[in-house]
Amino acid sequence: MKPARFTYHAPRELDEALELLREHGDEAKVLAGGQSLMPMLNFRLAHIDHLVDINRIGSQWGRPAFGERTVTIPALVRQRQLERSPEAARLLPVLTEALHQVAHPQIRNRGTICGSLAHADPAAELPSVLTVLDARFTLASARGVRTVSAADFFLFHLTTALEPDELLLEVSVDRPGANQFAAFREFATRRGDFALAGVAVVCEVDDGVVTACRIAAAGVAPTPQRLTDTELLVIGQPLGPDLGAAAEATARAQVDPTGDIHASAAYRARLTGVLVKRALADIQHKREKADA
């Protein structure tokens, strides 16, 4: 199928793009990578009057910045670009782990980090990862620029804090400390499919004891779900099989997913617990490797 008729815009400056969004509001959609938007338009699942292609607004928006304290990912950074970045693998390895599992290489070659976040599919990998990394989202419009936390950005299934005239300009993450370790785990029935469930875990570990922990699950709620009960259980405990087993049970009880043709609600809940246990085991292995 082909999309319904729309007007195509290709602004060459950010201000021009923001003015188009101000003018057309709900009638417009932003095109960066288009790996979610274009199929929706082609299948007539979405209808728009104006398409604002931001790929010409400036090369600076396609380069990640690895600062002394912060990693910044602008709107046009491709998923494959960050997946292959040695700096990203060194500073944000959990993001690299998750990117390896996003769809297929052809999709990652074109899809953008910010585009996936703005699309906000709760089963996608990146929203849960940026949630546990406590990312900051910079939203720009002709009215000005504002910053929103990850906790406030994802509102519901395919719904974010972005206003109709706003563009997700960049996302920023603090560089991790030496005692921070993270892991991402998911399970899909076929390589490249959306996962039945996934988890992202970040822990700070001192002398084998977890001093801080953030866990977010994907595919079990309308937004990335922070597993706060499991986080509280993990904090103050030594890494090991006993902690993994306890965290598995707590995570399993904490989620209340829906079932569908791919998996029952009970299976998704059980899977979430197993993935949390495996992610904690990954973190223990990474810490031991760092100490070796």
Residue 121, pLDDT score: 96
Residue 119, pLDDT score: 97
* pLDDT single digits (tens) 224-235: 999 999 999 999
Task: Work out the average pLDDT over 213-231.
Answer: 98
Residue 219, pLDDT score: 97
For 142: left if phi > 0, alpha if psi spans -120 to 50, otherwise beta; the answer is: alpha
pLDDT over 80 (residue 1): no
pTM over cut 0.85? yes
Quickly state the pLDDT bin for 192 (edges 50, 70, 90). confident
* pLDDT single digits (tens) 240-286: 999 999 999 999 999 999 999 999 999 999 999 999 999 999 999 99
* pLDDT single digits (tens) 115-157: 999 999 999 999 999 999 999 999 999 999 999 999 999 999 9
Quickly state the pLDDT bin for 70 (edges 50, 70, 90). very high
When the pLDDT of each residue in the chain is averaged and rounded to a whole number, the result is 96
Task: Work out the average pLDDT over 180-184.
Answer: 97
Residue 291, pLDDT score: 86
Residue 207, pLDDT score: 93
- In the chain, alpha helices (H): 14-24, 37-42, 79-83, 86-91, 93-99, 105-110, 113-119, 125-132, 150-153, 228-234, 241-254, 265-291
Residue 240, pLDDT score: 97
Helix 241-254 / helix 265-291 crossing angle, nearest 10 deg: 150
pLDDT more than 70, % of the chain: 100
